[in-house]
């Protein structure tokens, strides 16, 4: 990696990118992690809350 | 948009809203309080939502504002002493043993909040850079930069290198690193 001295907050457009393979692998791992949460059932408290809000409105 | 439709759309957005909250706040109980606040606010302001626009982005914006407002109110006490958030997310380790969820959890917790949220929005929540920028109230370039920094730090924390991902061909990959797709 070439090391051009860049100051932290100058106009350097973006930080150095990680290699594409690493980026892809990270993305997959992040998705797997995320899916572990999104696949959980919605807690009852939120279903109840929406029900209450809906009843209050209508 | 009727309240009924709005409720249906809120329900549909809930899993991804909650995942964002949990990953952002670190603790499930705090995250769920955030989601509760967000839903209540969203409901109260449903007239300010334009049907047909990205409801998730709208909700994420509310949640994020709520998160930082709470953070400011509580001062810094919410951050653990060592600057890490104890991520007690109830996710199960993957079946194939390919990756340990706890590694990802603790690695995410080590990122600065601005980098964490940028990465979560773009890489996990399928938001575009533009949407993420709008949600965070910063320029698109800032989001890109934060995402890059977050990726670099995560890769480091998770010991991900070219070699570890696709076999020891570091030389070739190093040459590719500087190429833009």
Q: Which residue of B has its CA nearest to A52?
A: B40
Residues of chain B above pLDDT 70, percent: 75
CATH of domain B96-181: 1.10.10.10
Q: Residues of A with CB below 8 A from B119's CB?
A: 30
Of B2-6, B17-21, B24-28, which one has max mean pLDDT?
A: B17-21
Reply yes or no on whether the pLDDT at B174 is more than 60.
no
- How high is the pLDDT of residue B74? 78
User: Cβ atoms within 10 A of the Cβ of A24, count?
Assistant: 13
- How high is the pLDDT of residue B26? 84
- Mutation target vs B (from A28, A46, A51; most B CBs, 10 A cutoff): A46
Q: Which residue of B has its CA nearest to A38?
A: B15
Q: Residue A22 carries which DSSP code? A: H
Contact with chain A for residue B42, Cβ under 8 A = no
Long-range contacts of A28-32 (CB under 8 A, 24+ apart): A29/B99, A29/B104, A29/B158, A30/B104, A30/B119, A30/B120, A30/B123, A30/B124, A31/B123, A31/B124, A32/B94, A32/B99, A32/B101, A32/B104
B1-87 CATH choice from 3.40.220.10, 3.30.470.30, 1.10.1740.10, 3.90.1300.10: 1.10.1740.10
- How high is the pLDDT of residue B115? 96
Q: Residue ranges of the domains in chain B?
A: 1-87, 96-181
Q: What is the pLDDT of residues B65-111, one digit of tens each?
A: 999 998 888 765 545 433 444 444 444 444 444 456 778 888 999 99
How many inter-chain contacts (A to B, CB under 8 Å) are there?
A: 128
Global model pTM greater than 0.80: no
Closest among B119, B118, B148 to B136, alpha carbons compared: B118
- How high is the pLDDT of residue B42? 96
Residue stretches of chain A with pLDDT short of 70:
1-15, 58
- Mutation target vs A (from B5, B10, B15, B115; most A CBs, 10 A cutoff): B15
Q: Residues of A with CB below 8 A from B176's CB?
A: 19-20
Higher per-residue confidence, B35 vs B100: B35
- How high is the pLDDT of residue B150? 96
| Contact flag B43-A34 (C-beta cutoff 8 Å) | no
């Amino acid at each position: 990696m070439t090391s051009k001295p860049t100051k932290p907050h100058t106009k350097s457009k973006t930080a150095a990118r990680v290699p594409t393979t690493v980026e892809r692998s990270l993305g997959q791992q992040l998705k797997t992690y995320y899916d572990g949460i999104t696949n959980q059932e919605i807690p009852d408290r939120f279903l109840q809350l929406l029900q209450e809000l809906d009843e209050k409105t209508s | 948009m009727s309240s009924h439709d709005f409720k249906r759309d809120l329900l549909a957005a809930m899993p991804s809203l909650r995942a964002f909250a949990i990953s952002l706040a670190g603790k499930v109980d705090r995250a769920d309080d955030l989601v509760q606040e967000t839903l209540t606010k969203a409901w109260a302001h449903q007239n300010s939502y334009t049907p047909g626009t990205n409801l998730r982005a709208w909700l994420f914006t509310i949640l994020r504002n709520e998160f930082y407002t709470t953070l400011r109110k509580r001062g810094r006490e919410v951050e653990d002493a060592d600057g890490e958030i104890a991520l007690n997310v109830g996710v199960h380790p993957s079946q194939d043993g390919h990756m340990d969820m706890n590694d990802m959890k603790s690695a995410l917790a080590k990122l600065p909040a601005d980098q964490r949220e940028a990465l979560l929005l773009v890489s996990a929540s399928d938001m575009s850079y533009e949407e993420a920028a709008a949600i965070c109230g910063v320029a698109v370039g800032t989001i890109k930069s934060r995402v890059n920094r977050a990726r670099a730090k995560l890769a480091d924390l998770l010991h991900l290198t070219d070699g570890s991902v696709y076999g020891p061909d570091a030389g070739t990959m190093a040459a590719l690193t500087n190429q833009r797709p």
